[in-house]
Chains A and B, each alone.
Chain A
């Protein structure tokens, strides 16, 4: 089974959280598990999901939870894809495109990291800690997908 971890975001403030997770996990994943950073989640997300059986998407979110909170988001919780303009292509549109191309992976997990602000160069301290928790969460999901038993507190 080919598993792809995709860290999604821009380089602005807390919106970079997904990218940082991808950087942090490079070299730490089991063989056969890929990790990429995706700064344009529209068409580039569809490209990143090509030939993949299972995917874990990591992205900064704004849900009203405290900054830094890490949560698993079910694909059906995502909002509907919007009409296309190339300035507004996001994760949802990228996934819809992947589906239209028959590339949507059979198994899909989404990990959201609550952000505080999407501007400036620095990340909020809470979100920085969220990145650590998200890394652990992704490793756990990858283990589940590979059919490994993850001992509580282990890994």
Chain B
């Protein structure tokens, strides 16, 4: 006799935005699985048309309260490509510093308040704070440094506005940078201690056959530049993003799904970056990775929390290196530019993975067209594939556990539904026939 079960999570918790999960299982097989993103579309691409190009970094930053820098970086680099501007070395270094601050803030918030409760069997970040005060205090101190970097270069930590075409509206002073470097050096060891704490937690394992996609740069850990590489040998120029990846509309989501043209779903984010750029990690981040190396032997989205921990160390080392590079590079010079009809695409690494923005400017210097492909929409199809493989293993478990495990798997991707549009409720239907 056929048995039909439906799992329904009406509103997913501890994710960024509003979404739900619906699963129908029949005769032990997943018949239907939909990550439903029901947050209303935000129409950014539409209302950005006709705005001045120089407004784009500030406006796209409003897409996300957690990773505004990524939107500023992809949009400003796309504009600069269109206008034929090459930022000077000081600007380039400051942008790495800025990105590092964003990664720190985003990763630490996710690790401590959204992910840790899953590994500890607790309801929320408040419970983690009550029972594990020391690691929470450590994460807060480190996060504050990320916040400081955002304030320094963005003018303020929320809805930052510091980026302009070719540079920054205000360059930090030598004193501001050296005092920041001192603070970073003082806390750097703390990031290693934090990762060690996470390594003691019972983080589940969910290895799977998935294509990992990230930027790769010849000399550096990737942030704003590089080619797009994958664990299955893809290696293309960032300009070829749209020739290689395509977006599809699905009825159950207000965010578009992505796939490799002629291929399947893929995973972007810290796990892909760390796996594809191991040899570009700083000595300290590389050593930290070694200590959790067994979690990176096969692609495992559940190991993402360790990738984030490694990247916090990397971001601090990158921030310090960037501050040195700024000092060596001399003053920031913001180039003049003249409007022209031209198009540019840039792909940068947001905390959650590849963020592609294509901009076409017109002869007046206004935006004629803009396309934004955020990391969470790229990960959606992969999240569904992950759950389709996971659910059959959970069928004999109580409903509540099944739901918790599904939600936890979704959180491994740190989905930002607000960016993709927004995110999650779980529905599991169990209908005996």
A96 at the interface (CB under 8 A from B): yes
Is A84 in contact with B144, judged by CB distance below 8 angstroms? no
Chain B nearest CB from A82 CB (Å) reads: 9
Is B158 in contact with A40, judged by CB distance below 8 angstroms? yes
Q: Which of B125, B141, B159, B418 counts the most chain A CB atoms within 10 A?
A: B125
B157 at the interface (CB under 8 A from A): yes
Known: A84-B14, A85-B13. A44 touches B126 (CB 8 A): no
Is B13 in contact with A84, judged by CB distance below 8 angstroms? yes
Q: Which of A22-30, A54-62, A97-105, A122-130 is found at the contact surface with chain B?
A: A97-105
Known: A11-B159, A102-B133. A97 touches B16 (CB 8 A): no
Per-residue A-contact encoding for B118-147, CB less than 8 Å = 1, 0 else? 000000111101100100110011011001
A46 at the interface (CB under 8 A from B): yes
Is B137 in contact with A84, judged by CB distance below 8 angstroms? no
Per-residue A-contact encoding for B48-77, CB less than 8 Å = 1, 0 else? 000000000000000001100000000000
Known: A10-B158, A43-B109, A101-B136. A86 touches B16 (CB 8 A): yes
Q: From B113, B130, B159, give the contact of A84 (CB < 8 A).
A: B113
B17 at the interface (CB under 8 A from A): yes
B156 at the interface (CB under 8 A from A): yes
CA distance A97 to B133 in the complex (A): 10
CA distance A11 to B58 in the complex (A): 14
A39 at the interface (CB under 8 A from B): yes
Is B143 in contact with A11, judged by CB distance below 8 angstroms? no
* Set of chain A residues within 8 Å of B109, measured between Cβ atoms: 43, 86
A83 at the interface (CB under 8 A from B): yes
CA distance A46 to B113 in the complex (A): 13
Chain B nearest CB from A83 CB (Å) reads: 5
* Set of chain A residues within 8 Å of B17, measured between Cβ atoms: 85, 87
Report B's interface with A, CB cutoff 8 A. Answer: 13-17, 65-66, 109-110, 113-114, 124-127, 129-130, 133, 136-137, 140-141, 143-144, 147, 156-159, 418
Report A's interface with B, CB cutoff 8 A. Answer: 10-11, 39-40, 43-44, 46-47, 81, 83-87, 93, 96-97, 100-102
Which 4 A-B pairs give the minimum distances between C-beta atoms? A100-B129, A100-B130, A39-B158, A86-B109
